[in-house]
Structure 1
């Protein structure tokens, strides 16, 4: 038997073939049906068990590895019945569960070379590369598979995001558009092209594009649908369409799967951006904080912990201080693959974020200033990490010292140059120029 991409599969129960295909097809297409493989969890087939473990690990919670472990153990116990390709995937999932991300990536890279149509493995390898800031690794995985799998639209979407994260905007746009031409419902390609347009300051075009394909965002996993709407909200914020951006938060970004890590950090980062743009978010921090308070001991990814902390701090919850102490205690004992990112980036960033949330501009500048040069090491996309840069800039402006305002001017004007359509940036620049006593440079930007 084969999966729908032509990879041979060793199944004892032919009925499980559909579950395998639901996982493979659903995973690469960002569709919720990937979880249907759990319906075959009683099948002792090692590949089925490994796919079930994958889904549990994607919960990105403190108990995810424990929940995945029984499936991994069953997969390993049956590995002698599996093919080399399947055994390699099982090894990669086991490495992930143990926190050995370097080994997991190496196995996914080997898989891409040996079995380039195993696109579920490839996409998972990209996920790990993304989480440690290895953007070239993301691209290398996709390009390794292209000669053998150019007929699969979702691979072009994966290549597009790899190109974009490597700042190769022309190739990213071409790959995304090729994917969409092959399959209009390709949300990852929509996402990659949205990144390109945001980066290049094509704000009105980006908003029109994302809204124009949003009718296809059905049947997706909660991350993909909420994250694409999150991108819509970013365009709205920069274009000064504040009420619409707030409505997207309320109706599309927060509330799909409130217990899921990615939905939570999407809500945190969007609320933070709304506030930085001068938009009153009311009691929304408090409504979110109850879910974040359950994350104090997770420490799955530093990128996640930092946003949980900021959300708790903005809600005025005492758990923010506890999470900071937990991060400081965990960092020295983090898995070797990610220890440096926890110690040298997450710890100072966490201190800076807590300071910013409490109105301590000097503390925010110190902590975030230490973290920003190496921020890529904690993962996240350029657009996601921009929240930390915006908070640092806000702290510079709030400190109001001549040196800080001079630094803010340099950062802001470069951003205005890159995104001349952004009313948000122009308003911030106007405030800085007024504070620097340069009224002749104020653009008098207003909301439309």
Structure 2
């Protein structure tokens, strides 16, 4: 009988290999720190081909990129399941269901909740469950899972970043700020806690404070995954943009801190493209089309590669806009047709969840072609991008779609509707100059005297942040 060793959490794993446990623990660190060496988990079954935990974690890592290898590791885990420890069996049950065909997301969350009830220090399983909740658009479930294990993990910095992000998605900004600070006070290089704190500052329109904070942290980001590195810089660029910094400041970040990531041999291209196209759409909506025309053309050329399709619904939706607006209409049509096909194959429950996401994708395709009228019809009169979290995007990432909608309303002459939704949005985020400019335009369209006041407010904010 093989001996039992303890992993980082202090839970029993049946293996005689110190190297296997070391690889598993290294994988834990990479997942929680958004590192770029998550493939280290593939070393664990090399050191012990019979270790259930090593194989099931490797299977999950490979399931979206190399299905045949994932199945091989899954079968290896199953073959030794009777000899596994209670902890390994719990992880196996949760992950095995996660990679199964036609899984029910609610069941997957429940399996993780059960796992965490018995093994509350397993923060990688918590992270896995939080990602699942994120794609369900259920931050309430995500918060419940964190709170379930918080007492047992009070000394772990990673728990506070996870707590903070759940609070952010529930619009509990004061609580999110407190949790994020707790995380990076324990570990100043906790990138997820840094990211959560930036979210708070950005939401509260503390743009310069957010930029100063994130740029002060940026020297430690080189070990981050392509997503985390470029996403943190995306936040910095967006703070410059929302704070009305010169457009060149935004484009320098795009060129030197986001797009430049693609020069690295281990870059994950779709992760870079997601943050790239999300930023360019923000700039586009603000009318700076000439400034990004060549960058958008180059990016759209990359996005014609089908290897980048159907990885993330969020990326696919943005890709539809990028392709359609760059003249790659036939490619955009092909991608949209593929999304509709995938949607039709979903079970009824999943279709109900993804219906808004499907409509958003179609609307972005029409918007990219310049067909605002049809795009508005698809989004409907009560559109709120925050109801589209199921595409795998945070509220900050989704907000650009609200901006697109506001602009289309104004372009279509629906000034009264635009004014109504803009006034509501400004009540929540009154420090964004662009929103005041849109409101000024709406007032002007129907001849209301409040246009002058909105213009004055916009001008005051435009010089307030980055003098």
Give TM-score scaled by structure 2 length: 0.88
Per the alignment, residue 356 of structure 1 pairs with 367
Q: CA deviation at 1:14?
A: 2.0
Which of the numbers 250, 275, 293 marks the counterpart of 1:245?
A: 250
Matches of residues 304-383 of structure 1 in structure 2 within 5 Å? 304-317=315-328, 318-335=330-347, 338-342=350-354, 344-369=355-380, 372=384, 374-383=387-396
Report the Cα distance in structure 1 between the residues aligned to 2:430 and 2:161, rounded to whole angstroms: 28
Q: Establish whether residue 413 from structure 1 lines up as the match of residue 426 from structure 2.
A: no
Task: From the superposition, tell whether residues 352 and 3 of structure 1 become closer, same or farther in structure 2 (CA, over 3 Å).
Answer: same
Query: Is residue 134–residue 389 contact of structure 2 (8 Å, CA) maintained in 1?
Result: no
Q: 1:385 to 1:418 in 2, by over 3 A?
A: same
How many Å apart are 1:121 and its aligned residue? 0.5
2:406 is the counterpart of 1:390: no
With over 3 angstroms needed to count, the CA separation of the structure-2 counterparts of 1:383 and 1:158, relative to structure 1, is: same
Question: Per-residue displacement from partner, 1:107-163 (whole Å, max 9, x unpaired)?
Answer: 211112111101100001000000110101111111111111111101111111111
Q: Which stretches in structure 2 are left out of the alignment for 5+ residues?
A: none
Provide the residue aligned with 1:432 in structure 2.
442
Structure 1 pair 341–314 and aligned structure 2 pair: CA distance change class (3 A): farther
1:351-408 deviation line (CA, Å, top 9, x unaligned): 2111111111111111123764742333321111112211111211211x2xx11111
Question: C-alpha separation between the residues in 2 aligned to 1:390 and 1:96?
Answer: 35
Give the drift of 1:326.
1.5
Query: What is the distance in 2 between the residues matched to 1:64 and 1:200?
Result: 42
Computing the radius of gyration from Cα coordinates, the structure with the larger value is: 2
Tell me the TM-score normalized by structure 1: 0.91
**In structure 1, C-alpha distance between the alignment counterparts of 2:362 and 2:222, rounded to whole Å:** 39
Which of 238, 261, 280 is 2:270 aligned to? 261
Distance 1:228 1:298, change over 3 A: same
| Residue pair 1:156, 1:179 contacting (<8 A) in 2 also | yes
The 1:154/1:300 distance shift into structure 2, 3 A limit, reads same
Matched, 1:283 2:294: yes
Identify the structure with bigger relative contact order (alpha carbons < 8 Å, sequence gap 6+): 1
1:99-138 matched pairs, under 5 angstroms: 99-100=102-103, 101-138=105-142
- What is the rounded CA distance, in whole Å, between the counterparts of 2:121 and 2:268 in structure 1? 33
Measure the CA separation in 1 of the matches of 2:307 and 2:36: 27
Counterpart pick for 2:60 among 24, 32, 54: 54
Q: Which runs of 5+ in 1 are unaligned?
A: none
> Are the structure 2 counterparts of residues 397 and 154 from structure 1 closer, same or farther at C-alpha, using a change threshold of 3 Å?
same
Query: Are the structure 2 counterparts of residues 286 and 187 from structure 1 closer, same or farther at C-alpha, using a change threshold of 3 Å?
Result: same
2:160 and 2:182 in contact (8 A); partners too: yes
Residues 250 and 157 of structure 1: is their aligned pair in 2 closer, same or farther, counting only changes over 3 Å? same
Aligned to 1:85: 87
Runs of 4+ in 1 over 6 A off after TM superposition: none
Residue 453 (structure 2) aligns with: 441
**Over aligned residue pairs, what C-alpha RMSD do you find?**
2.2
CA distance in 1, matches of 2:76, 2:302: 32
2:222 corresponds to: 218
Question: Cα deviation per residue 1:29-73 (whole Å; 9 max; x = unaligned)?
Answer: 21223322223342312211222223224xx5xx55445322222
